[in-house]
Amino acid sequence: MSEIKKTALITGASRGIGYATAIEFLKHGYNVAIIDIFEDRDKVKNELKEYGNVNYVVYDLRKTEGIEDAVKEAIKPFGRLDALVNNASSGAHDYLLGISIERWDSYMDLALKSMFFVSQAASKMMIDCDSKGAIVSLSSLRADRADGTHMLYSVAKAGIAAMTRELAFSLGRYGIRVNAVMPGYVRTEMTEHYITETPGFIDQLYSLQALEKVLDAKDMAKLIYFLASDENTSVTAQCIKADAGIGTVELPAKKAEHA
Ligand SMILES: NC(=O)c1ccc[n+]([C@@H]2O[C@H](COP(=O)([O-])OP(=O)(O)OC[C@H]3O[C@@H](n4cnc5c(N)ncnc54)[C@H](O)[C@@H]3O)[C@@H](O)[C@H]2O)c1
């Protein structure tokens, strides 16, 4: 009997963590369905096709009208769904007094609301095909930290953490595992400016992290794949820091000078 070819749906996979995650799933033999706002679907498909089967749907996740149809269209060629990676979002630097109702709505529509409705649509499909699959969502260390500079981003990422736990308890009876990853600093197009615009940024990072390396999208992709794959038989309802240790450091940071 031939083994079933699994399918992963990844939102926001035209670059960054989502793109690296698409390659990771493809290398493990999955079909990959992508939903992304970036319109040059041929460019992304051509780059990824050497790794396996990709279906790419152009859709703006700031809107929820038609979101279930976009999910259905994305997985249509593959006929089943085994993993969802809720990844698409954008950075946001906002202060309390500057946030209008319109700004709140448009940011939350992408960063939180769409993640919920994509998860809802994906859950129905995983239940229908009895895939006993997994959902992995991109939260952030900022979900449980504050410095007054990222109001909307932090609220959305904390919402994702809460949503993860609720989904895990809603879907556990179907054998579906649900987790979130909380990255620290990961070098992508979204965050490259921290390195290029802040002198000494990497030295400062190393003084706060346990590991003296700049994390990249591939580091996140490996963890996301593990959490979504059948190798993960026990972890659910968790928000896992993937941060080289920065979220655990005792402040003010003065790392031990020797082991
Ligand atoms: N890079 C980091 O340091 C870091 C840290 C913590 C959390 N995260 C989270 O990880 C995820 C990925 O981050 P990244 O650094 O790879 O970001 P990125 O900006 O490089 O990639 C974001 C992807 O989402 C897509 N996207 C953006 N707006 C969209 C929309 N309206 N509709 C559909 N697709 C849209 C983009 O086209 C792109 O493919 C995000 O949720 C981010 O908040 C990243």
Residues with CB under 6 A from ligand 1: 12-18, 36-38, 60-62, 87-90, 110, 138, 140, 183, 185-186, 188-191
Query: Is 140 inside any structural domain?
Result: yes
Closest-CA residue, ligand 1 atom 21, reads 16
Give the residue numbers spanning the domain of 38: 7-188+215-248
User: What are the phi and psi torsion angles at 250 (to 5°)?
Assistant: -75, 130
Query: Is 131 inside any structural domain?
Result: yes
Closest ligand 1 atom to Cα of 142: 6
CA distance linking residue 143 with residue 236, whole number of Å:
18
pLDDT of res. 3: 80
pLDDT of res. 181: 98
Best mutation site among 152, 188, 192, 218 for ligand 1 pocket (most ligand atoms within 8 Å of CB): 188
Q: Which of 56, 59, 153, 185 is catalytic?
A: 153
pLDDT of res. 253: 73
Q: Could you tell me the CATH number of the domain that includes residue 112?
A: 3.40.50.720
Ligand 1 center to 145 CA (angstroms): 19
As for how many domains the chain has, the answer is 1
Query: Is 210 inside any structural domain?
Result: no
pLDDT of res. 259: 84
Query: Is 54 inside any structural domain?
Result: yes
- For the chain, the C-alpha Rg in angstroms (whole number) is 18
Best mutation site among 19, 21, 37, 218 for ligand 1 pocket (most ligand atoms within 8 Å of CB): 37
Cα distances (Å, whole numbers) of residue 251 to 207, 239, 255: 11, 22, 10
Helices 151-171 and 114-128, packing angle to 10 deg: 20
Residue-wise pLDDT tens for the chain (259 aa)? 558 999 999 999 999 999 999 999 999 999 999 999 999 999 999 999 999 999 999 999 999 999 999 999 999 999 999 999 999 999 999 999 999 999 999 999 999 999 999 999 999 999 999 999 999 999 999 999 999 999 999 999 999 999 999 999 999 999 999 999 999 999 999 999 999 999 999 999 999 999 999 999 999 999 999 999 999 999 999 999 999 999 999 888 777 888 8
Closest-CA residue, ligand 1 atom 9, reads 138
Query: Is 19 inside any structural domain?
Result: yes
DSSP class of residue 204 equals H
Query: Is 194 inside any structural domain?
Result: no
pLDDT of res. 255: 74
Whether residue 218 contacts residue 22, with contact meaning beta carbons closer than 8 Å, is answered with no
Closest ligand 1 atom to Cα of 13: 39
Give yes or no: 51 in active site: no
pLDDT of res. 256: 82
Query: Is 203 inside any structural domain?
Result: no
CA distance linking residue 126 with residue 224, whole number of Å:
18
CA distance linking residue 225 with residue 51, whole number of Å:
15
Query: Is 148 inside any structural domain?
Result: yes
pLDDT of res. 252: 80
User: What sections of 97-200 are H helices per DSSP?
Assistant: 101-108, 114-128, 151-171, 192-197
